Amino acid sequence: MALPLPLGLTHSEVAFLAEMELVTVVPRQRLESIDLLSGKTPPLRPPHRADLPLWLALLLKKQRRANIVPPPWLHPASLAEIVHRETKVHPQAFSEPMPTSSRARQSEPGFAGRIGGDGNGEEVTLSPPFQGNCTSSAPAGYLPYHWFEVAEALITHAGDDLGGNTSEIRGLLRDLVEVRAAKMRDSAETLGAEGQGGVVSLRGVGAMELAENRGFVLGVVDGVRKIGGAVETARREREEEMDLGGGDGDRGGYGGGGDSDDDMGI
């Protein structure tokens, strides 16, 4: 292979993308709005919360200029619920991804508003990094696309903001990783099951898990395809023969080459 780079995104690339996720911070100092390529950051006024990209939040956190409010799904109770759901309730499927493009307003249950929608009728379609899946207003009990990267970054750099139970969170995350890795392995077996058509659902799988298992899953798909290839060609040939044979049988012999086209044209 000419290019030594693996297919798809590497782990560090995924982690880099995850740094675009918005997280909620409580600033300790005033900071004016910064005009970035991706848009203006909100101005920081000390007691008021603001949503910042993860990279900026971590930078401010390291300089002790802000505290990070952990997203609700990183709370031990939420993680424990997901672990329970993944192991007991749906032992086969990955848990549902976070609801898209909306964010639940916790003060007004049942309402959800677009993050970018500012009321002038302009629809803003948001893809995962901008959905606000990691802000303090994200719903609990779901795992966002970048769950693993964001969780690791927050535990490592903002452990003191997580309410002092870092080791518990770390343990639950470890459980989740193991449970979902086992599901990923089992997905290989469903891939090869007869009548499945070589399809496996990866709904709800996080970016980091995809990066880790991409090579393996593609390898399995490729292998099944190669093994099935010979059987498939044989089956097609047989079907063609059967079609031809049926046409001949009706007329009791050869000699009607023109007619057989009509038979098959149905």
> How many CA atoms lie less than 13 Å away from 216 in the CB half-sphere?
12
Among candidates 209, 192, 191, which has minimal Cα distance to 200?
A: 191
Name which of 25 and 150 has its Cβ closer to other proteins: 150
- For residues 215 and 107, give the distance between their C-alpha atoms in angstroms, rounded to a whole number: 44
Cβ pair 147, 52 in contact under 8 A: no
**What is the rounded distance in angstroms from the CA atom of residue 61 to the CA atom of residue 58?**
5
Element (H, E) at 53: strand 50-53
Per DSSP, the three-state class of 166 is helix
Q: Give the pair of three-digit tokens for residue 82.
A: 């997901």
Complex with other proteins: residue 23 or 211, whichever CB lies closer: 211
Return phi, psi of residue 66, to 5°.
-155, 155
Between β-strands 39-40 and 50-53, what pairing exists: parallel, antiparallel or unpaired?
A: unpaired
Q: Which residues bind other proteins (CB under 8 A)?
A: 6, 10-12, 15, 152-153, 156, 181, 184-186, 188-189, 191-194, 208, 211-216, 218-220, 223-224, 226-231, 233-234
DSSP state for residue 195 in the 8-state scheme: T
95 closest CA partner among 206, 215, 15, 210: 206
What does residue 202 show for φ and ψ, rounded to 5 degrees? -110, 25
Is there a contact between 86 and 180 (Cβ–Cβ < 8 Å)?
yes
Given a contact cutoff of 8 angstroms between Cβ atoms, the answer to whether 191 and 221 are in contact is yes
